Amino acid sequence: MYVQEFKLYENIFIETNIQSPNYDGVIVILYPQEMNVGLPRHIESFIDNISKLDKHIHKTQTVWNCDYVSGSRLVRLVLTPINKVTPYHDVSVIREAAKKGMNRALDAGMKKPLFVIKNVVNFPDGQLVGILGALEALYVPLQIREHKETKNFIHIGFHSDEVTSDAFERVVRNALALERSRIFARDIAGSDPERMAPAKIVEYVKHSFACDTNITINVIDNLETIAKEYPLLAAVSRAANNIERHQCRVVEILYNSSNPSRVTETLMLVGKGVTYDTGGSDVKISGKMAGMSRDKSGAAAVAGFMKACSILKPPHLKVIGVLCLCRNSIGEDAYVSDELLLSRSGKTVRVTNTDAEGRLAMADSVFKCAELAANELNPHIYTIATLTGHAAACYGRYTAAMDNHSAKATNHSTKLQFSGSRMAEGIEISVVRAEDLAVNMGKCKGDDLVQYDTDAKSRNHQLAAGFLIKVGGLEENNIKYTHLDIAGGAGSPPDEPTAVPILTLCHAHKVLI
């Protein structure tokens, strides 16, 4: 299995000499003049001269031959402009410019680019985000890598200043760790529903963590056990369980600090891992089934965050990640609307739309986490899921964050929004209100809850959070809980998965070194 990795001082270098002969091209981000971001002295005058020749360099990516940047050799200089920065822009302008610049360099045939990434006062994490943007452009999907070994670069240099600094090396090390984590998540989220069927995800997760001594993995794959302990997940997976390779799994990944006495917070993350969502008996129509292999992006993000923890080793965290893996299939044994299911919490749930399967897939794991949280230090439960089209309709490509009353008391989603703005992952805050819980109450005798209120005309992503709060036993107890609906932010084909919200979580919970 060809693993795409970046390793400092093997294929990634910190370069202080803009004229080093070890590179076949230089990538420079051009910032608006009012930002006063200086350029390396060897090329500033060159850019001043060519800007008189062609003002277009400040509008789109251009490639120039330049003998100022590599000693005696003539190399290509890629200029990638940021056209405008207003008070409404965030650091994503740097990410996009860096990604476009790297793509343009690859298109020009560069295999050993040197990327100039300057510190920008406006954006405190701009260097980190810029490096991540450049590395993101180099991602090769897993199934292409497995088909043939594909290397789109030989080595890369990152240049900040003419002297090496510990601070910049730390930025680069953080970027490489985060990108390794995002590659892991993208591989799971972006691969097709057969390559990443539940059992294949388990295999890939075990392989990825095989050398990580701070990670423990527990796989629950016995169907009788799942039917007993995760009955709502079992219902969703019922039709798929007839096919061995599609059978559901619950994967529990535990990260333990090397110094348990330093742990101050326990994170418990539950990810939706629906490897393919046909809609079930409420089958998706009008071509809306295409792209539904991305419905495992929540579980992929949880796995990616666990990978970041395993690499960066935050001493203050204990982390439990749960991947709820299943396939929502059509068949003679499929679960259907009107069924009355008994959840792990003891509450009955009336099925009303089999295409609202994600909340059922996670519900029993959320309740289990709530049970475990009673014995953990400062616990915080998350659910991460491509859960509702409504979240995407409301917020486009941004993530919707929703707190229960305990998390809201600490302004947690506001902290996530701040971290997202620093890391170029947009977070929008949605408030869970009393009606979002009440709308999930059963309508018929014997129903404690309905899976989804089919009469609801609005607030669909909030009422989904309300369902998880109620079925998970998080309505009144004092356990912090945050639901992240990443339906708009996970990325849709033909775009690659974005691996949100790994960067936000790493920043908010101080995983970075």
Among candidate residues 359, 368, 422, 459, the one labeled active-site is 359
CA angle 282, 475, 227 (to 5 degrees): 45
pLDDT (mean) for 345-354: 97
Q: How confident is the model at residue 308 (pLDDT cuts 50, 70, 90)?
A: very high
Tell me: do 224 and 109 sit in the same domain.
no
Q: Is residue 25 part of a domain?
A: yes
Scan for tokens 């219902």, then name that residue.
Answer: 235
* pLDDT value at 1 more than 60: no
Is 268 found in the same domain as 142?
no
Q: Give the separation between CA 293 and CA 347, rounded to whole angstroms.
A: 30
Statement: residue 112 has pLDDT above 80? yes
Where among 164, 182, 203 does a domain terminate? 164
Classify the C-alpha dihedral 16-19-22-28 as positive or negative.
positive
Q: Please check whether residues 111 and 225 belong to one and the same domain.
A: no
Same domain, 232 and 312: yes
Looking at residue 354, its pLDDT comes to 98
Question: Residue range 147-168: average pLDDT?
Answer: 89
Cα(225)–Cα(131) distance, integer angstroms: 45
Q: Which pLDDT score is estimated for 70?
A: 61
Q: What is the pLDDT of residue 274?
A: 98
Please, which pLDDT band fits residue 5 given cuts at 50, 70 and 90? Answer: confident
With respect to residue 312, please indicate whether it lies within any of the assigned structural domains: yes
Which pLDDT tens digit goes with each residue over 8-31?
A: 999 999 999 988 989 999 999 988
Taking phi over 0 as left and psi of -120 to 50 as alpha, with beta for the rest, 291 belongs to left
The one catalytic residue among 284, 313, 397, 510: 284
Q: Which residues pair with 403 in a beta bridge?
A: 482
**How confident is the prediction for the chain on average, in pLDDT?**
94
Q: Active site includes 284? A: yes
Q: Strands 449-450, 427-429: parallel, antiparallel or unpaired by DSSP?
A: unpaired
Q: Choose one of 147, 164, 181: the last residue of a domain.
A: 164
Residue 376 has pLDDT above 90, yes or no: yes
What CATH number is attached to the domain comprising 224?
3.40.630.10
pLDDT at 139 over 70: yes
Percent of the chain at pLDDT > 90 equals: 83
Is 427 part of a structural domain of the chain?
yes
The confidence score (pLDDT) of residue 71 equals: 55
Residue 302 banded pLDDT, cuts 50, 70, 90? very high
Q: What is the count of structural domains for the chain?
A: 2
Burial code of 313-339, b = ≥16 C-beta within 10 A, e = fewer? bbeebbbbbbbbbbbbbeeeebbebee
Query: In the prediction, which pLDDT does 81 show?
Result: 83
397: how many CB neighbours lie within 10 A of its CB? 17
Q: Indicate whether 362 pLDDT > 70.
A: yes
Which range marks the domain in which residue 423 is found?
192-508
Helix, strand, coil fractions of the chain, as percent rounded to 5: 40, 20, 40
Specify the pLDDT at position 74: 59
Bridge-based pairing state of the strands 340-342 and 348-350: antiparallel
pLDDT, residue 92, reads 96
Handedness of CA 192, 195, 200, 205 (dihedral sign): negative
> What average pLDDT does this structure show over 383-401?
97
Terminal-to-terminal C-alpha distance of the chain = 29
Instruction: Count CA atoms within 13 Å of residue 223 on its CB side.
Output: 17
Q: What is the mean pLDDT of residues 24-39?
A: 88
Q: Are 467 and 449 in contact (CB under 8 A)?
A: yes
Tell me, yes or no, whether 203 and 325 share the same domain. Answer: yes
Q: How do beta strands 379-385 and 449-450 pair?
A: unpaired
Q: Is the pLDDT of residue 322 over 80?
A: yes
Q: What letter does residue 123 receive in the DSSP assignment? A: B
7 belongs to a structural domain: no
Pairing, β 25-30 against β 113-116:
parallel
Q: What is the mean pLDDT of residues 114-130?
A: 93
Same domain? 270 vs 124: no
State residue 310's pLDDT score: 98
Does the structure show a pLDDT above 70 at 499? yes
Token reading at 170 = 């730390």
The answer to whether residue 169 is domain-embedded is no
CATH number at residue 115: 3.40.220.10
**Residues 117 and 233 reside in one and the same domain:** no
- Which DSSP string corresponds to 351-414? ---TT-HHHHHHHHHHHHHHHHHTTSSSEEEEEEE---HHHHHHHTTSEEEEE-HHHHTTTHHH
Residue 176: inside a domain, yes or no?
A: no
Name the pLDDT band for 73 (thresholds 50, 70, 90).
Answer: low
In this structure, the answer to whether residues 153 and 240 fall within a common structural domain is: no
**Residue at 156 is within a domain:** yes
pLDDT at 121: 85
Q: What is the mean pLDDT of residues 128-139?
A: 97
* Predicted local confidence at residue 55, as pLDDT: 75
Whole-number Å distance between alpha carbons of 5 and 236: 36
The DSSP element (H or E) to which 216 belongs, if any, is strand 215-220
Same domain, 416 and 371: yes
- Specify whether 147 is located in the same domain as 100: yes
238 is catalytic: no
Residues 110 and 205 placed together within one structural domain of the fold = no
Same domain, 256 and 387: yes
Among 144, 164, 184, the domain boundary falls at 164
How far, in Å, are 24, 78, 114, 145 from residue 106 at the CA level?
A: 11, 10, 12, 17
Its sign, for the CA torsion 253, 299, 270, 427, is: positive
Angle between helices 198-208 and 166-190 (to 10 degrees): 160
Instruction: Tokens 């089209």: give the residue.
Output: 389
Other beta carbons within 10 Å of 144 = 12
Q: Is the pLDDT of residue 64 over 90?
A: no
Residue 493 burial by Cβ neighbours in a 10 Å radius (0-12, 13-18, 19+) = exposed
Give domain status of residue 456, yes or no: yes
Contact 163, 271 (CB under 8 A): no
Q: Summarize the confidence of residues 170-175 as an average pLDDT.
A: 97
